[in-house]
């Protein structure tokens, strides 16, 4: 038996044993999340000293499957847990980890304050400023497309601290408290009636100097860690290897945990992989003998395998001690194409009912989710066009795009509506 198979069986057995012995549906959600986090089974790939088991990344999917099989409430899964936590572990001091990680594993909602009206794909052109004032930094500017900002306790913020340096060098990375007078959050209402995204305005908002993550002026490197985790998460979520959906609302920590175990058609759909969901839709609403449907299913299966093997390459690089490289962009681009292909098939089979939401909608509304997500994944974490540029330059060896502004101080650039100083 191979070492990999040995590891799989050991982790499966240990996780199942602990979950069956410790799951108590009468605990509150907060109590259950704290119990599971302290055991290391909430975030098993994190270091042992920081709420993890130190497992290699490919075993995280094994633990996710065991949780579903045992029937427990999964750990929190949002920007705090998928993006902020790994970034803090990679770049934070021990004091910062002690200060922020307990709340993160306990279900706190955080938001990501990166994109701006004039700085999305070209993130390094951001204009939000942070100016030192004693033991604090004063922040002024605007962010946009910020998921869950209206519920967040903290935000991971990248701001410009030195406009005299070139645009990639004058950035710093902060953790900022969202509940303060200098921050205004304006939800962006969608035609569905929901408001996932927000505009965030900073007017003399303040952040303690000790909330600087990484080195002053080193924000771009810290942000790349966050973006790599975001792209890996988005790619993995497309074929079901992620632990669960991205949560952006504030959880009810006092709720009885047993009442939150998913049930019904939406839960069954959410608990299965993307390919299984499409197959169930075909069985329920379509015709598996139809030649067009069979061809579409074959295409989706091929794309799922491409995404799965690309994800394994990313995880193997991390296990070997390296940093995720351009394979992250390959995986995200493949996931984007996969979701659009799934969307088209699901819409064709379900027809107008695919736009419905609720327990009586196809797969409890999961088909509706994929229709919306097919657009989001093409933009969030870097657009498809950005991923193609990265692949072209770092995989195919094509010439880099000209960067005339590479060595020019930011204050001398014309960016968006801003004129050079």
Tell me, what CATH number does 205's domain have? Answer: 2.40.110.10
Residues 73, 75, 77, 83: what is their CA dihedral angle, to the nearest 10 degrees? -170
> Of the residues 228, 248, 274, which one is the last residue of a structural domain?
228
Residues 76, 376, 265, 189: what is their CA dihedral angle, to the nearest 10 degrees? 90
Q: What's the pLDDT score for residue 268?
A: 44
What's the domain count of the chain?
A: 3
Same domain, 214 and 275: no
Q: What's the pLDDT score for residue 243?
A: 42
Q: What's the pLDDT score for residue 270?
A: 44
Q: What's the pLDDT score for residue 324?
A: 65
Whichever domain contains 272, its CATH number is: 1.20.140.10
Using DSSP, state whether 202 is helix, strand or coil: strand
Residues 6+ apart with CB under 8 A from 236: 242, 311, 331
Same domain, 71 and 96: no
Residue 77 is encoded by which pair of tokens?
Answer: 């899964």
Q: What's the pLDDT score for residue 247?
A: 59
Phi-psi region of 259 (alpha: psi -120 to 50; beta: other; left: phi over 0): alpha
Residue 403 lies in a domain: no
Residue 158 lies in a domain: yes
Same domain, 21 and 104: no
49 classed as catalytic: no
Same domain, 214 and 324: no
Same domain, 201 and 309: no
Q: What's the pLDDT score for residue 419?
A: 56
> Of the residues 75, 109, 138, which one is the last residue of a structural domain?
75
Q: Are 314 and 58 in contact (CB under 8 A)?
A: no
CA dist 134 and 410 (Å) reads: 24
Residue 251 lies in a domain: no
Same domain, 17 and 67: yes
Same domain, 194 and 302: no
Q: What's the pLDDT score for residue 326?
A: 80
Same domain, 194 and 301: no
Residues 6+ apart with CB under 8 A from 344: 296
Residue 146 lies in a domain: yes
- Active-site pick, 108, 230, 296, 327: 230
Give the position of tokens 């645009």: 167
Residue 413 lies in a domain: no
Residue 361 lies in a domain: yes
Residue 153 is encoded by which pair of tokens?
Answer: 């306790």
Same domain, 292 and 196: no
Residue ranges making up the domain that contains 100: 89-228
CA dist 380 and 333 (Å) reads: 11
Q: Long-range contacts made by residues 302-305, C-beta under 8 angstroms, separation at least 24? A: 303/334, 303/337, 303/338, 303/341, 304/239, 304/273, 304/274, 304/275, 304/338
Same domain, 286 and 330: yes
Same domain, 219 and 273: no
Main-chain dihedrals φ then ψ at residue 209, nearest 5 degrees:
-60, -30
Residue 321 lies in a domain: yes
> Of the residues 181, 209, 228, which one is the last residue of a structural domain?
228
Q: From residue 291, how far is each of 275, 288, 296, 380 by CA, in Å? A: 18, 8, 9, 34
List the chain residues with pLDDT less than 70.
Answer: 1-6, 191-192, 231-249, 262-275, 315, 317-324, 415-421
Q: Are 325 and 317 in contact (CB under 8 A)?
A: yes
Same domain, 94 and 204: yes
Residue 9 lies in a domain: yes
Encode pLDDT of 28-50 as tens digits: 999 999 999 999 999 999 999 99
């Amino acid at each position: 038996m191979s070492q990999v198979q040995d590891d799989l069986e050991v982790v499966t057995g240990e996780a199942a044993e602990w979950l069956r012995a410790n799951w108590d549906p009468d605990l509150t959600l907060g109590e259950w999340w704290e119990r599971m986090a302290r055991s290391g089974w909430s975030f098993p790939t994190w270091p042992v000293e920081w709420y993890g088991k130190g497992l290699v990344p490919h075993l995280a999917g094994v633990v996710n499957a065991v949780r579903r099989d045992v029937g427990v409430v999964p750990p929190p899964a949002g920007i705090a847990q998928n993006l902020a936590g790994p970034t803090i572990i990679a770049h934070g001091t021990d004091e910062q980890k002690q200060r922020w990680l307990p709340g993160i594993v306990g279900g706190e909602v955080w938001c990501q304050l990166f994109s701006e009206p004039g700085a999305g794909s070209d993130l390094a052109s951001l204009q939000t400023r942070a100016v030192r004032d004693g033991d604090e930094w004063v922040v002024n500017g605007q962010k946009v497309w910020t998921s869950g900002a209206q519920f967040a306790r903290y935000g991971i913020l990248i701001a410009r601290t030195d406009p005299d340096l070139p645009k990639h060098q004058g950035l710093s990375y902060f953790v900022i408290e969202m509940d303060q007078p200098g921050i205004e959050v304006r939800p962006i209402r969608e035609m569905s009636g929901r408001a996932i995204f927000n505009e965030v305005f900073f007017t003399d908002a303040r952040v303690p100097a000790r909330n600087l993550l990484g080195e002053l002026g080193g924000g771009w490197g810290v942000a790349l860690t966050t973006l790599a985790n975001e792209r890996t998460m988005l790619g993995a979520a497309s074929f079901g290897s992620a632990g669960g959906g991205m949560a952006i609302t504030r959880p009810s920590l006092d709720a009885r945990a047993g009442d939150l175990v998913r049930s019904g058609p939406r839960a069954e759909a959410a608990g299965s992989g993307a390919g299984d969901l499409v197959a169930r839709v075909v069985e329920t609403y379509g015709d598996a003998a139809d030649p067009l449907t069979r061809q579409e299913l074959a295409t989706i299966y091929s794309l799922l395998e491409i995404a799965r093997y690309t994800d394994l390459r990313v995880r193997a690089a991390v296990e070997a001690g390296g940093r995720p490289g351009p394979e992250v962009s390959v995986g995200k681009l493949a996931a984007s194409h996969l979701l659009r292909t799934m969307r088209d098939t699901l819409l064709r089979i379900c027809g107008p009912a695919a736009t419905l939401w609720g327990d009586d909608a196809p797969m409890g509304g999961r088909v509706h989710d994929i229709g919306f997500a097919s657009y989001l994944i093409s933009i969030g974490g870097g657009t498809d066009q950005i991923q193609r540029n990265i692949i072209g330059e770092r995989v195919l060896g094509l010439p880099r795009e000209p960067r005339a502004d590479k060595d020019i101080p930011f204050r001398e650039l014309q960016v968006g509506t801003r004129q050079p100083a």
